């Protein structure tokens, strides 16, 4: 089943075209990695998908429900009430975590399920404890974000997103703010989620990780999808631009 679909997305900032006619769909249980140089539009794509940015033109669907449809060259968004419902389908993990600093770890995870989804507190608490255990942070439930390492904070933010039970989880460069040692912690967590068949779209600069974890890789450059292939195919690609980009990483990592 198609969980997510966007068609012919266009987006520009002050005349600067960032996304040129991008189409992308994600099946249930699939892990898609998006790679590409800085400024290629990866993050903007993710921000359009998660409704943090409005598309200039294009369609956007979650589980077949339209969040926006292209009409006469413009993206027409669904009414706010509809969008609120659609927002429940996805979660987003930020590069800078964006945890709520005044809430404890536990409250960061539990607050939205209780006050947004109006779920039973006891039930949410049980799930939150299970999530923390999965993240290896059971002993940090009462800590505040400022008392945690970057890797721990990112694990809390993943738990916070998962507590909302999203159908699909987006990651916007989840390890870019972390040093290599902490990066490993996060990649391990995401790999675990992939094994559990969590549907994920991951924007990342970690090529080896992307290759290992994803079912499909998308290489973006200058606002277009250059190639969309399985990891093996992409790394064997004969496309000049792809080779050039991957070649730079190859040099960096060896």
Total residues at the site for other proteins (CB under 8 A)? 27
Q: Does 158 bind other proteins (CB under 8 A)?
A: no
Q: Does 167 bind other proteins (CB under 8 A)?
A: no
The residues in 187-246 that bind other proteins, with binding defined as CB under 8 A, are: none
Figure out which of the listed residues 77, 144, 235, 249 binds other proteins, where binding follows CB under 8 A: 144
Figure out which of the listed residues 23, 25, 96, 230 binds other proteins, where binding follows CB under 8 A: 96
177 or 224: whose CB is closer to other proteins?
177
> Is-contact 94 157, C-beta < 8 A?
yes
- Please tell me the number of Cα atoms within 13 Å of 126 on its side-chain side: 4
Q: Does 89 bind other proteins (CB under 8 A)?
A: no
Query: Shortest distance, CB of residue 70 to other proteins, whole angstroms?
Result: 23
Candidates 1-9, 96-104, 212-220, 228-236; binding stretch for other proteins (CB under 8 A): 96-104
Q: Does 81 bind other proteins (CB under 8 A)?
A: no
51 or 75: whose CB is closer to other proteins?
51
Q: Does 133 bind other proteins (CB under 8 A)?
A: no
147 or 230: whose CB is closer to other proteins?
147
Here's the x/- map for other proteins, 60-79, by CB under 8 A: it reads as --------------------
212 backbone dihedrals φ, ψ, rounded to 5°: -70, -40
- By the 10 Å C-beta count (0-12 exposed, 13-18 middle, 19+ buried), 3 is classed as buried
Query: Shortest distance, CB of residue 75 to other proteins, whole angstroms?
Result: 18
9 or 92: whose CB is closer to other proteins?
92
Binding site for other proteins (CB under 8 A): 50-52, 84, 87-88, 90-92, 94, 96, 98-102, 111-112, 115-117, 144-146, 160-161, 164
């Amino acid at each position: 089943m198609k969980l997510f679909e966007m068609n012919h997305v266009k987006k520009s900032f002050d005349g600067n075209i960032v996304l040129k006619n991008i189409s992308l769909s994600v099946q249930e249980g699939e892990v898609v990695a998006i790679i590409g140089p800085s400024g290629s539009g990866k993050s903007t794509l993710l921000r359009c998908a998660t409704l943090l940015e409005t598309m200039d033109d294009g369609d956007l669907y979650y589980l077949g429900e339209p969040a926006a449809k292209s009409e006469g060259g413009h993206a027409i968004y669904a009414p706010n009430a509809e969008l609120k419902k659609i927002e429940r389908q996805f979660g987003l993990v930020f590069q800078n975590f964006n945890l709520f600093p005044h809430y404890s770890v536990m409250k960061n995870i539990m607050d939205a399920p209780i006050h947004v989804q109006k779920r039973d507190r006891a039930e949410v608490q049980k799930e939150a404890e299970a999530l923390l255990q999965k993240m290896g942070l059971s002993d940090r439930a009462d800590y505040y974000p400022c008392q945690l390492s970057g890797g721990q904070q990112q694990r809390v933010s993943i738990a916070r997103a998962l507590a909302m039970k999203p159908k699909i989880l987006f990651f916007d460069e989840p390890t870019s703010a972390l040093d290599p040692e902490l990066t490993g912690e996060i990649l391990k967590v995401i790999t675990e989620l992939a094994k559990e068949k969590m549907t994920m779209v991951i924007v990342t600069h970690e090529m080896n990780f992307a290759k290992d974890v994803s079912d499909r890789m998308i290489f973006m450059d200058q606002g277009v999808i250059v190639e969309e292939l399985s990891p093996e195919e992409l790394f064997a690609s004969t496309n000049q631009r792809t080779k050039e980009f991957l070649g730079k990483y190859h040099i960096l990592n060896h």
